[in-house]
Amino acid sequence: MHNSPAEAMIQGLNILIVDNNSYMRRLTRMMLTNLGAKSVLEAPDGLEGLEMIRTCDPDVMLLDWDMPVLDGMEVLRIVRSPGVFPRPNLPIIMLTARGQRSQVVKALRAGAHEYLVKPTSPKALRDRLTSILRNPRPMVRLGDFYVPQPRRLSRALEAAE
């Protein structure tokens, strides 16, 4: 069986999952492994997630919103601090149980590249990862935020629904 181009792209990635729910981390890791990811790191909270970005230099981060200490939005704000944080351009996929449109908009405006609502499917995960890899968007400053250059927001919203 040979790999699809998408799987070939995902294979080389070092992916960090930041989620306080160990079951969700395991499930996400399994999906990523099945998609061909060779290197999947896990952090149980935002603080450890930030530390792992510094030390392990992941290619993509899957980030949960609701976590103790530092929630996903706070982690997003810290990572998206050029000059303060070492990897402000790190592609971030918000993977969260929050599915309201207003929250999707808030996360994308704060600098998330993609948004997935739990429980997600391997296909949706693969599509978001390949979208980040195939169409890398330059980071730009929008007001107080440092974000991937917006696609039309309406398209991103449709994708999240």
- Structural domains present in the chain: 5-160 (3.40.50.2300)
Q: Do 96 and 117 form a contact (C-beta atoms < 8 A)?
A: yes
| Mean pLDDT value across the chain | 90
Strands 114-117 and 139-142: unpaired
The percentage of the chain sitting over the pLDDT mark of 90, rounded to a whole number, equals 76
CA distances (Å), 51 to each of 17, 33, 82, 83, 144, in order?
A: 13, 23, 16, 17, 24
121 vs 151, residue with greater confidence? 121
**What pLDDT, in 10s, does the model give residues 23-42?**
999 999 999 999 999 899 99
Please tell me the predicted confidence (pLDDT) of residue 3.
61
Give the mean pLDDT of 63-75: 95
* pTM attached to this predicted model: 0.90
Instruction: Please report which confidence band the pLDDT of residue 154 belongs to, taking 50, 70 and 90 as the band edges.
Output: very low
CA angle 94, 100, 154 (to 5 degrees): 80
Query: Where residue 153 falls among pLDDT bands split at 50, 70, 90?
Result: low
Average pLDDT of the residues in 70-94: 96
Q: For 143-155, what is the mean pLDDT?
A: 78
Query: Backbone phi, then psi, for 74, in 5-degree steps?
Result: -70, -40
